Amino acid sequence: MEAAELDTAQPVRILVYSDNPQTRTAVISALGPRPHPDLPPVEYTEVATAPVVVQRLDAGAADLVILDGEATPAGGLGLARQLKDEIADCPPVLVLTGRRDDAWLADWSRAEAAVPHPLDPFELGSAVIGLLRTKSS
């Protein structure tokens, strides 16, 4: 199996990064245990610091990464760009932006998708499902 393929027999591993535990909880609650019936169930890994994100991705521990652009001290937008530069076979990245007008920053970060705060569960779910379907094809 290529690194870019999603094994539908295994749970999808989603890494959720934010220094704010309420943001991590909001993401996980919005997506739930299975964002779509055609996709496998999800295993979430919550991460509060950028170095741990890099460590986990170096180990190949995620199929999808959700990064909070409003996190401090390392924001998710800069972290997304770093991951795309430094991680071989980096999984798809979704960034949470401060507002809809920050979509250009998401483009700069090389993230495959962006969803603005405040989080809309339908918009977040749609973006995640789209990324996971793209990864599995």
pLDDT tens string 29-70: 999 999 999 999 999 999 999 999 999 999 999 999 999 999
Domains of the chain: 16-136 (3.40.50.2300)
Torsions phi, psi for 106 (to 5 deg): -65, -40
The percent helix, strand, coil of the chain (3-state, each to 5) is 40, 20, 40
Residue 16 pLDDT exceeds 90? yes
Whether the predicted pLDDT of 23 surpasses 80: yes
- State the pTM of this model: 0.92
Residue with tokens 């924001």: 75
Bridge-based pairing state of the strands 64-68 and 42-47:
unpaired
Please list, in sequence order, all residues whose beta carbon lies within 8 angstroms of the beta carbon of residue 2, skipping any fewer than 6 positions away.
none
Mean pLDDT across the chain: 92
> What digits encode the pLDDT tens for the residues 98-123?
998 888 899 999 999 999 999 999 99
Question: What is the per-residue burial (b if ≥16 Cβ within 10 Å, else e) of 55-72?
Answer: ebbeeebbbbbbbbbbbe
Pull the structure tokens for residue 43: 């295993």
